[in-house]
Amino acid sequence: MNLPKTMKAVMAYGRNDYAFLEDAPVPQIENPDDIILKIDACGICGSDVMWYQGADSFWGNEKEKGPMEPPVIPGHEYTGTIVAMGTGAASKGYALGERVVADMIKFCGDCFYCKRGEYNMCENQRNFGHQSDVNGAFAEYMRIPEGTVVYRLPADMPLDKAVLIEPFCCAMHGVERAGITKEDLVVISGMGCIGLAMVSIAKKYEPRMIVGLEMNPARIELAKKFGCDLVLNPKETDVVKRVKELTEGRGCDVYLEVAAHPSSVYQGLDMIRKKGRFVQFSALPEEITYDWTIIGDRKELDIYGSYTSCHCFEKVIRGLYDGSLKSEGMITHRYPLEQFLAAVEKAARKEPDVIKIVMTMDGKE
């Protein structure tokens, strides 16, 4: 296939400085293992919104440098079709026309963490959509460089499922960090895309009860369909008191923080039982303060972080494809790439009808 010289793409130049380009250069094969994808769709992640709004955690501040290295094409929740590849990729059995997804991290394979199989913690990682040598998928074409794990998709996998693979992988990693058992009462705070995916994944562990926390009525109803046994609205209910009532005053066994709001962290630390497991998934928009002695002197908590995913893609692809992982209803809006700025602004406003916005490359909404 002869690729065009230019393409449509979204470019991030800095904080609050994004532009849609009609003539961005189409990526080229640079190394034998490189693959060029024609992007079919790319979802807007909550982190994309935070980048767009200029969050210090991504752009840095006077204390530390952030991971963003502009100019860069953002976007990491994607699926695409192979349209070109180097000789090394071809020798590995990849074929033109195959539908694939790839890990959002290009890892080195040689550092302390990579050798332990913990490649999401790679000391030399490059993240798609963060740095210009690994441009992301808010574009018509994207280069997948050597050092990236590429996963084939079933030819008949619906696009609406394929584009959700990466966020489901992140959700799965967070759930796996929690170590859920059948005896656990699990609380998941925030019923957006990741929270709903966590509900669907957590159900496989058959916990005693899954409680969702959410204020949006539409999301509350969807959370019930995804498998929550109970959904509580913090605006209407003292959720800490209610969860303790369900557990003879102890509190929840597992708390997964996915709401990306300081109050969600505080209520989780208040709600969780002694020796409970707290998983912090969300990137928070601001620093928080709390009496940290609750971890040791008062509750002896296990605190886990969760960053992207690790060894989850194949499991998620199977689960979404065979329907054992629910995804229906997650994608609420579709925009053509040309309308990215309108789409990300809509996501940033947190309008009640929005769960997942997907950018399409065929010009259709």
For residue 158, what is the domain's CATH number?
A: 3.90.180.10
The tokens for 31 are 């190394």
pLDDT tens digits for the chain (365 residues)? Answer: 689 999 999 999 999 899 999 999 999 999 999 999 999 999 999 999 999 999 888 888 888 888 899 999 999 999 999 999 999 999 999 999 999 999 999 999 999 999 999 999 999 999 999 999 999 999 999 999 988 999 999 999 999 999 999 999 999 999 999 999 999 999 999 999 999 999 999 999 999 999 999 999 999 999 999 999 999 999 999 999 999 999 999 999 999 999 999 999 999 999 999 999 999 999 887 888 888 899 999 999 999 999 999 999 999 999 999 999 999 999 999 999 999 999 999 999 989 999 999 999 976 55
Residues ≥6 apart with Cβ < 8 Å to 110: 124
The verdict on residue 317 lying in a domain is no
- Are 125 and 25 contained in the same domain? yes
Domain that holds residue 156: 6-164+330-360
Q: What is the pLDDT of residue 96?
A: 98
Number of folded domains that form the chain: 2
The SS3 assignment for 184 reads: coil
The verdict on residue 316 lying in a domain is no
- The strand pairing partners of 18, in sequence order, are 12
Q: What is the pLDDT of residue 283?
A: 87
The verdict on residue 311 lying in a domain is no
- Are 61 and 207 contained in the same domain? no
The verdict on residue 203 lying in a domain is yes
- Are 149 and 188 contained in the same domain? no
Q: What is the pLDDT of residue 363?
A: 61
Q: What is the pLDDT of residue 16?
A: 87
Q: What are the counts of helices (DSSP H) followed by strands (DSSP E) for the chain?
A: 13, 17
- Are 298 and 350 contained in the same domain? no
- Are 18 and 154 contained in the same domain? yes
Q: What is the pLDDT of residue 101?
A: 98
- Are 334 and 201 contained in the same domain? no
- C-alpha pair distances (Å), 43 with each of 73, 78, 350: 14, 6, 15
- Are 139 and 71 contained in the same domain? yes
Percent helix, strand and coil across the chain, each to the nearest 5: 30, 25, 40
- Are 178 and 43 contained in the same domain? no
Do 255 and 185 contact (CB within 8 A), yes or no?
no
- Are 20 and 150 contained in the same domain? yes
- Are 69 and 120 contained in the same domain? yes
- Are 119 and 207 contained in the same domain? no
- Are 54 and 138 contained in the same domain? yes
